[in-house]
């Protein structure tokens, strides 16, 4: 099984502390309700985004360039599909959510 070793519950306590039990419960229900094919697609999109962000950074392209903005657009589109996040709520503040994620990535050494 391609999901062996992937534990979507590993950050449960942190998620509940930061965003509340409902956010974790919604996300957990979403993940458990996905088919294997949907999970594979989701993980492939994560992999593709990671690869494309690394390639963009290594190439030194301007963040405002069409190529970088296309990766950013795909990333935001991906984020809006994750339940329990402000990006997934119709009318939610997607811009503030994305900026907050960026700030978290910079501040948290786990993302270094």
Whole-number percent of the chain with pLDDT over 90:
41
Residues contacting residue 100 through CB under 8 Å, at least 6 positions apart: none
pTM recorded for the entire structure: 0.74
Is the CB of residue 27 less than 8 Å from the CB of residue 88?
Answer: no
> For residues 84, 18, 78 and 69, what is the CA-based torsion angle, rounded to 10 degrees?
140
Q: Which pLDDT tens digit goes with each residue over 28-67?
A: 898 889 999 998 998 899 899 999 999 999 999 999 999 9
Q: 58-85: buried (b, 16+ CB within 10 Å) or exposed (e) per residue?
A: eeeeeeeeeebeebbeebeeebbeebbb
């Amino acid at each position: 099984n391609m999901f062996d070793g992937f534990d979507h519950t590993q950050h449960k306590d942190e998620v509940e502390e930061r965003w509340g039990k409902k956010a974790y419960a919604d996300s957990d229900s979403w993940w458990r309700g996905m088919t294997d094919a949907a999970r594979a697609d989701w993980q492939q999109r994560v992999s593709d985004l990671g690869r494309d962000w690394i390639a963009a950074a290594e190439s030194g392209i301007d963040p405002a360039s069409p190529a970088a903005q296309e990766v950013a657009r795909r990333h935001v589109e991906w984020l809006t599909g994750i339940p329990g996040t402000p990006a997934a709520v119709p009318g939610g503040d997607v811009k503030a959510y994305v900026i907050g994620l960026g700030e978290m990535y910079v501040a948290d050494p786990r993302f270094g």
